[in-house]
Every structure is written in structure tokens, then in C-alpha cells.
């Protein structure tokens, strides 16, 4: 009887044995299951906060007095304002980070990818997009940050 039932099944059903029991699965079932898994995966990844930003890094050296550096950085922030093109030009000229070849562009990063002080500024809801921020001190030095796009 079992052989007769197996012979009567459509040719496209595949047998899947789980715990001694045969389950018959169609290609449509496999497709729907994979589609569902992909949707779940992207919904989990899509909820992560991201930021697209550029920065200018000034590494502090022992010969550079901190108050003077901070005062000059604050003046630079006022000078740049919300001008992304000017920010890129200054980053290419003065930044001490390898990203200076891309006008300071850091690309897209997610919350927790950067130094905590850097993340706090980038992902704080009150921080405005499209303005120059800083100076922000991290273990790498002082940063001026320009946020182009962000999800919160």
C-alpha cells in the first residue's frame, strides 16, 4: 500500500524524512519558506540605526596645546557651517585620517561601529543632519563631523 501511495504522488514533490516520518515538499513550499526567511532577515537588519558621515581627524600631539587646538577647531566649524563641499575640501587638506583621500567620507556605519564619543554625536536625536559638528575628542584625536544621512 505504501508503494502505491508513493507512486501516486506528483513527480515534483520531494520526500523529506524527519524522525522516521516522510514529508512531501513541493518547490513552491521551499520557495515560500526561503522568501519568508529572507524577509525576516532583512527586517532585523533594517532596524539597525545607520549614519552616513564624513570627518576630519586632528591627532593631538604633545607639542599642540589643547586649548589652542579646540579654539581653532571651533572657528573652523563656524567657517564651514553646513557647506558639505567646503567640508570635503578642508578634510582633503587637513585631515590626518586615511579617509582624507575621499574628502573625509566614512561611508555608512552602524551604531556601535565607531568610538563611543563619536557614536553619541552621530546618533543623538537632537543632532542636526547637514551641519558641521565638533570638536569631538576620541582616543584617536579630535574630529569634526558632517552627517549627510541618518536613520534613527
Architecture (CATH level 2) of domain 50-150:
Roll (3.10)
Q: What is the pLDDT of residue 24?
A: 76
Q: What is the pLDDT of residue 11?
A: 63
The count of other CB atoms within 10 Å of the CB of residue 55 is: 25
Torsion of CA 123, 129, 130, 136, to 10 degrees: -30
Q: What is the pLDDT of residue 29?
A: 82
Cα–Cα distance, 81 to 87 (Å, whole number): 9
HSE, side-chain direction, 13 A CA sphere, residue 112: 2
Q: What is the pLDDT of residue 63?
A: 62
Q: What is the pLDDT of residue 94?
A: 92
Domain-wise residue ranges, the chain: 2-46, 50-150
Q: What is the pLDDT of residue 93?
A: 94
> Can you give the length of the chain in residues?
152
Cα–Cα distance, 96 to 152 (Å, whole number): 29
For strand 141-150 and strand 132-138, is the pairing parallel, antiparallel, or unpaired?
A: antiparallel
Per run of 10 residues, the mean pLDDT along the chain (length 152 residues) is: 69 75 80 88 78 92 71 91 94 94 95 94 93 91 94 80
Q: What is the pLDDT of residue 30?
A: 82
Amino acid at each position: 500500500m505504501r508503494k502505491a501511495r508513493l507512486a501516486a504522488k506528483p513527480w515534483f514533490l520531494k520526500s523529506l524524512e524527519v524522525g522516521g516520518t516522510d514529508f512531501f515538499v513541493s518547490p513552491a513550499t521551499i520557495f515560500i519558506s526561503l522568501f519568508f526567511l529572507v524577509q525576516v532577515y532583512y527586517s532585523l537588519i533594517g532596524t539597525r540605526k545607520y549614519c552616513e558621515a564624513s570627518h576630519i581627524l586632528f591627532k593631538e600631539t604633545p607639542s599642540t596645546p589643547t586649548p589652542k587646538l579646540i579654539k581653532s577647531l571651533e572657528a573652523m566649524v563656524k567657517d564651514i557651517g553646513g557647506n558639505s563641499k567646503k567640508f570635503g575640501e578642508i578634510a582633503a587638506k587637513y585631515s590626518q585620517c586615511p579617509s582624507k583621500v575621499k574628502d573625509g567620507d566614512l561611508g555608512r556605519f552602524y551604531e556601535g561601529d565607531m568610538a563611543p564619543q563619536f557614536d553619541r554625536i552621530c546618533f543623538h536625536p537632537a543632532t542636526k543632519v547637514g551641519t558641521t559638528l565638533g570638536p569631538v575628542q576620541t582616543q584617536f584625536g579630535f574630529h569634526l563631523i558632517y552627517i549627510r544621512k541618518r536613520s534613527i
